[in-house]
C-alpha cells in the first residue's frame, strides 16, 4: 500500500452504525416496539453491522421495525403528519406495552414536532417515548445511551419509594452490537446471583421488559461493566434517584478477574460475604479442575500452539480479551486497535488498562482507529513471525488473516461468519469457552 495516501472524511469497512441503530437496543427490551422517524433504508443499513453474528433478530426487529421513510414531501412540508399516521397504525397492528420513537437525521434537520405527536398518544394512555438519535450526533453507542436516558426520564419517571438492599441494576454490553451479549448477560447475572444479589436486567430474555425499567429506582446501586458506554447513564441515575454506581471498566474473564470483580461488588454493596465467598470457592475449584485437564493437552501438544495475537474491536471486548490472553494464557499482544471511537475524555483511562496488563508489568500502546483501510494497513505491517498467530476481530479481517496464514476468531461487529445463540466468553464459564475456541481454531489452522 502506498504510504502517501492521505486521510479523508470518509471511512471504509465501518465497525459501528449511526445513532438510529439504537432501534435494536429498543427491540432488545421485551414488549418494546421501536418506531423509526427517518429516511428509507436507514434502519436496514444498521442491521448489516449491528445484528450480524447470525444472532437472529425477531419481532419487532429486522424487517418488522415501523419506519416513516421520510421523502421529499416530508423534507419540504414536515413529517409530523406522516409520523402521526405511522404511530396510529403501529399501535393498532403491533403488540407492545412500550413504544419508542427514534428520530434520525432527516427528521432532526427538518425539525419535526415529535413531542406533539407523543403528547397526543400519552393522553390516550399509551407508554410512548421520544428520542433524538440523529446520525450526525453520534454512533449507535451514543444512541444506546440516548435510549436509556430517555426511558428513565419519560417512562420510569419520579420515584419516592424504598430501595431494596440486594437489588442491583446491571448496565453492561450493547444489545446486538456485542455479538455475545445474550450469553454474557446470562453469565454475569449467574455469578452476581451466586454472590447474593438480585439482578435487574434491562435487555434481552432475562429482562421483564417495562417492569424491569420501572424497577430501576428501587435498586440500591447501579453496576456498570464497560470502559465508557453507560457512564452517562449511571451518572444521570445518581443525580435523579440518588443511586450510587460502581464502575468496572474491564469485563472480567477467567477465575482471577472474576473473583476480583465479585469481591469489589460485594465490598461496594456492603452485604455479608459468607455466600459470595462460598460461591467463589466452588467456582474456582471447578474452573481449575478444567484448567488442570487442559494443561495436560497443552504440555503434550507438539505441533505448535498460539503465542502471539492482535485484537481489533470495540473497547469493551478489546480490553477484556487482551488482559485475559496476556495475563492468564501468556500470549503476547502485538497489536490492539480500538474501533468504537470512544470520546477523547475516556481514552486515557482505556490506555491505562493496556499499560498494566500483567503483574510483571507487560505494557502495550493501543491504537484508536475507525477506518478499515488504516486498520488493515496497521495489521499488515505487524510482524507475527513464523509461529501461530491469532487475530480477534470482525469479518473485515477475514481476508487479511487468510493472506497471512493467521487464525481469525470473530469477536466484534460486523461478524458474518459466526452463529451465536447463547455463547459467552466472560466470567468463569465463558473463559473456558474462550480457551476452547482459541486452541481449537489454532489446531484447525494447522
* In-domain check, residue 13: no
Q: What is the CATH number of the domain that holds 245?
A: 3.40.50.1980
Within this chain, do residues 175 and 150 fall inside the same structural domain, yes or no? no
Helix (H, G, I), strand (E, B) or coil at 364: coil
Domain end residue (candidates: 156, 174, 190): 156
pLDDT computed for residue 63 by the predictor:
65
In this prediction the pTM is 0.94
d(CA 61, CA 72): 26
Domain co-membership, 79 together with 39: yes
What pLDDT, on the 0 to 100 scale, is given for residue 183? 96
User: Which H or E run includes 52?
Assistant: none
Q: Do both 142 and 184 map to the same domain? A: no
Nearest to 231 by CA among 315, 357, 163: 315
Asked if residue 317 belongs to a domain, the reply is yes
Please give the pLDDT value at position 445: 62
Same domain membership, residue 172 and residue 141 = no
Instruction: Based on the fold, state whether residues 305 and 441 are members of the same structural domain.
Output: yes
The pLDDT score that the predictor gives to residue 302 is 65
Last residue of a domain, one of 110, 139, 156: 156
Examine the domain organization and report whether 431 and 314 are in the same domain.
yes
pLDDT at residue 2, as a whole number: 46
| CA distance linking residue 233 with residue 219, whole number of Å | 15
Half-sphere exposure of 413 (CA within 13 A, CB side): 30
The number of folded domains in the chain is 3
Query: What's the CA gap between 15 and 178, in Å, rounded?
Result: 11
Residues 151 and 170 in one domain: no
What secondary structure does DSSP assign to 178-198, as a single string? STTHHHHHHHHHHHHHHTT-E
Specify whether 310 is located in the same domain as 235.
no
Per-residue pLDDT of the chain (446 residues; tens, 9 = 90+): 445 667 777 788 989 999 999 999 999 999 999 999 988 888 888 887 887 755 666 566 656 889 888 777 766 556 788 899 999 999 999 999 999 999 998 888 888 889 999 999 999 999 999 999 999 999 999 999 999 999 999 999 999 889 998 999 999 999 999 999 999 999 999 999 999 999 999 999 999 999 999 999 999 999 999 999 999 999 999 999 999 999 999 999 999 999 999 999 999 999 999 999 999 999 999 999 999 999 888 888 767 788 999 999 999 999 999 999 999 999 999 999 999 999 999 999 999 999 999 988 899 999 999 999 999 999 999 999 888 899 999 999 999 999 999 999 999 999 988 889 899 999 999 999 999 999 998 777 66
Amino acid at each position: 500500500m502506498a504510504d502517501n495516501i492521505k486521510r479523508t472524511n470518509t471511512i471504509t469497512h465501518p465497525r459501528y452504525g449511526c445513532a438510529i441503530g439504537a432501534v435494536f437496543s429498543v427491540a432488545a427490551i421485551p414488549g418494546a416496539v421501536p418506531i423509526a422517524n427517518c429516511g428509507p433504508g436507514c434502519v436496514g443499513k444498521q442491521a448489516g453491522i449491528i445484528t450480524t453474528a447470525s444472532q437472529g433478530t425477531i419481532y419487532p426487529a429486522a424487517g418488522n421495525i415501523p419506519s416513516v421513510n421520510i421523502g421529499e414531501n416530508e423534507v419540504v412540508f414536515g413529517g409530523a403528519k406522516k409520523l402521526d399516521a405511522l404511530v396510529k397504525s403501529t399501535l393498532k397492528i403491533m403488540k407492545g406495552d412500550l413504544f419508542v420513537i427514534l428520530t434520525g437525521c432527516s427528521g432532526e434537520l427538518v425539525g419535526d414536532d415529535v413531542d406533539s405527536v407523543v403528547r397526543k398518544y400519552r393522553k390516550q394512555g399509551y407508554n410512548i417515548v421520544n428520542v433524538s438519535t440523529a446520525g450526525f450526533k453520534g454512533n449507535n453507542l451514543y444512541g444506546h445511551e440516548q435510549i436509556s436516558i430517555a426511558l428513565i426520564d419519560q417512562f420510569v419517571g419520579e420515584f419516592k419509594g424504598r430501595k431494596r438492599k440486594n437489588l442491583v441494576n446491571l448496565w453492561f454490553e450493547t444489545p446486538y452490537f456485542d455479538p455475545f451479549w445474550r450469553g454474557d448477560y446470562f453469565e454475569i447475572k449467574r455469578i452476581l446471583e451466586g454472590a447474593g444479589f438480585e439482578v435487574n436486567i434491562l435487555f434481552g430474555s432475562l429482562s421483564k421488559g417495562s417492569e424491569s425499567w420501572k424497577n430501576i429506582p428501587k435498586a440500591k446501586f447501579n453496576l456498570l461493566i464497560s470502559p465508557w458506554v453507560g457512564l452517562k447513564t449511571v451518572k444521570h441515575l445518581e443525580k435523579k434517584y440518588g443511586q450510587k454506581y460502581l464502575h468496572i471498566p474491564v469485563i472480567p474473564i477467567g477465575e482471577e478477574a472474576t473473583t476480583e470483580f465479585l469481591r469489589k461488588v460485594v465490598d461496594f454493596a456492603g452485604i455479608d460475604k459468607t455466600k459470595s465467598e462460598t460461591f467463589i470457592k466452588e467456582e474456582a475449584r471447578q474452573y481449575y479442575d478444567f484448567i488442570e485437564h487442559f494443561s495436560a493437552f497443552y504440555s503434550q501438544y507438539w505441533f505448535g500452539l498460539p503465542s502471539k495475537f492482535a485484537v481489533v474491536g470495540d473497547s469493551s471486548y478489546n480490553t477484556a480479551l487482551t488482559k485475559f490472553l496476556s495475563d492468564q494464557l501468556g500470549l503476547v499482544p502485538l497489536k490492539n486497535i480500538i474501533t468504537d471511537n470512544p470520546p477523547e475524555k475516556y481514552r486515557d483511562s482505556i490506555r491505562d488498562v493496556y499499560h498494566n496488563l500483567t503483574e510483571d508489568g507487560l505494557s502495550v500502546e493501543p491504537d484508536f482507529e475507525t477506518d478499515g483501510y488504516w486498520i488493515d494497513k496497521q495489521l499488515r505491517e505487524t510482524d507475527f513471525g513464523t509461529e501461530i498467530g491469532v487475530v480477534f476481530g470482525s469479518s473485515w479481517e477475514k481476508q487479511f488473516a487468510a493472506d497471512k496464514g493467521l487464525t481469525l476468531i470473530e469477536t466484534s461487529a460486523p461478524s458474518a461468519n459466526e452463529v451465536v445463540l447463547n455463547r459467552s466468553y466472560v466470567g468463569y464459564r465463558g473463559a473456558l469457552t474462550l480457551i476452547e475456541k482459541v486452541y481449537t481454531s489454532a489446531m484447525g489452522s494447522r
